Structure 1
């Protein structure tokens, strides 16, 4: 089954959404990320996706105490990301109870760190492949690179990484729908089960992604949920129905 996962992005203690990763285009949806986490738990979300956007931008965690409080307040698994660039931070989030720890730009800049974390807890290591035009973006998506999303994923897969998130930055927070062709191309060239983020706006988007099963493990939902474009219950219902199509067909 493909899992629907609500995202909670945090800046200055607020639950926010950015458009295409642009910090100047921010919408605030709640002043209480904890209440939002409890809301999604009540809606029977299978997991929460917490991102420290303050930390992602400056390169070190800013909202760790808040994340720890959220993790301790809910009964569902939580994955965390944003500014995680050291083994000590990785271990501190594990100690706080996070099930999965998301790494971004550090996977390019310090692959040795990823190796160290894999040795400690392979299942908890998640790499976020944040793609703009097929190329990886770093530092909270503010820095462009010439490294392709496909090449980086395959390198990390060979390193032992088993959990990936693919984010289409150009669609993220824009409510423009998903680029199914781009996602399918990525999945075909990497052949790794992946969580998808960026642009999921309508139930048709959900249905299109569902057809790419079994290569999609989950769909991370953000602005479409907070703006009311999607209802979590409807997404969950569609994904729970028997899957009949797959990428290999």
Structure 2
């Protein structure tokens, strides 16, 4: 299983939100590239970046921070947050990003999603954010009538290889992740599932590696509940 330590970017800083709430934000570092270097020193092979400014209002505020991170550390980088057109996808891929994550636009404009998957293949991933089993969009503010599991099956069927599945209710709570959901998702053959939201304990890493392709670690790393070096070894 691959471990993806997360860096959420806002105004060029590394921050964490509680359940996507911009009013509940903690700044962890004013130098995100330094955080990335620390992750690499602890054995990270991958990095999950989220442009919170892009997600909130579409602004490309953190592009230079992302450029600096990619130039500084030799890691596989996936980026999400406010990616709503092909131009933004191209900008990130030209920068050296390995995988671009589409969120709200993947739900609202399936034709666009299918075209991007045809053009860019495995470089396109989809972030599936779920609340009470239903897909949520627009920064988790709007809950649709789409069933999360069924949506993931549809994504597999149109050629999406990687899905980042987040149970919103678990995100940032440090109370554990939704292991049952990932067991169900493992039944969708041919889909690489990345677990996200609430992963807090070493035992969860051990359990998840039997079912998913990857796991995103955020607040548990920043608050010292999980050690990245240990997590990487447990996932091997």
**Higher alpha-carbon deviation: 166-175 or 107-116:** 107-116
- Measured after TM superposition, the shift of residue 60 of structure 1 is 4.6
Please give the alpha-carbon distance, in whole angstroms, between the structure 2 residues aligned to 1:221 and 1:56. 19
| TM-score, normalised via structure 2 length | 0.94
Match of 2:229 in 1: 233
Match of 1:15 in 2: 14
Match of 1:243 in 2: none
Match of 1:113 in 2: 112
**1:20 and 1:172 in contact (8 A); partners too:** yes
Please list, as runs of the form range in 1=range in 2, the aligned pairs for 1:68-87 lying within 5 A after superposition.
Answer: 68-87=67-86
Match of 1:50 in 2: 49
Please give the alpha-carbon distance, in whole angstroms, between the structure 2 residues aligned to 1:78 and 1:193. 16
Please list, as runs of the form range in 1=range in 2, the aligned pairs for 1:195-210 lying within 5 A after superposition.
Answer: 195-210=194-209
Match of 2:140 in 1: 141
Please give the alpha-carbon distance, in whole angstroms, between the structure 1 residues aligned to 2:60 and 2:153. 27
- Measured after TM superposition, the shift of residue 64 of structure 1 is 1.8
Match of 2:165 in 1: 166
- Measured after TM superposition, the shift of residue 221 of structure 1 is 0.3
**1:58 and 1:139 in contact (8 A); partners too:** no
Flag structure 2 segments of 5+ consecutive residues without an equivalent.
none
Please give the alpha-carbon distance, in whole angstroms, between the structure 2 residues aligned to 1:101 and 1:61. 14
Match of 1:246 in 2: none
Match of 1:244 in 2: none
**Which SS does the other structure have where 1:185 is aligned?**
helix
**Which SS does the other structure have where 2:213 is aligned?**
strand
1:119-156 CA-partner distances (Å, limit 9, x unpaired) = 22201001011111111111122222111111211222
**2:43 and 2:228 in contact (8 A); partners too:** no
Please give the alpha-carbon distance, in whole angstroms, between the structure 1 residues aligned to 2:155 and 2:219. 29
Please give the alpha-carbon distance, in whole angstroms, between the structure 2 residues aligned to 1:90 and 1:193. 20
Please give the alpha-carbon distance, in whole angstroms, between the structure 1 residues aligned to 2:200 and 2:25. 18
**1:194 and 1:217 in contact (8 A); partners too:** yes
Q: Note the aligned Cα RMSD (angstroms).
A: 1.4
Match of 1:32 in 2: 31
- Measured after TM superposition, the shift of residue 187 of structure 1 is 3.1
Match of 1:182 in 2: 181
> Judging changes above 3 Å, is the alpha-carbon distance between structure 1 residues 137 and 60 closer, same or farther for their aligned structure 2 residues?
farther
Match of 1:66 in 2: 65
**Which SS does the other structure have where 1:150 is aligned?**
helix
The count of residues paired between Structure 1 and Structure 2 equals: 235
**Higher alpha-carbon deviation: 224-233 or 59-68:** 59-68
**2:185 and 2:193 in contact (8 A); partners too:** no
Match of 2:130 in 1: 131
Please give the alpha-carbon distance, in whole angstroms, between the structure 2 residues aligned to 1:172 and 1:79. 19
| TM-score, normalised via structure 1 length | 0.90
Please give the alpha-carbon distance, in whole angstroms, between the structure 1 residues aligned to 2:59 and 2:89. 11
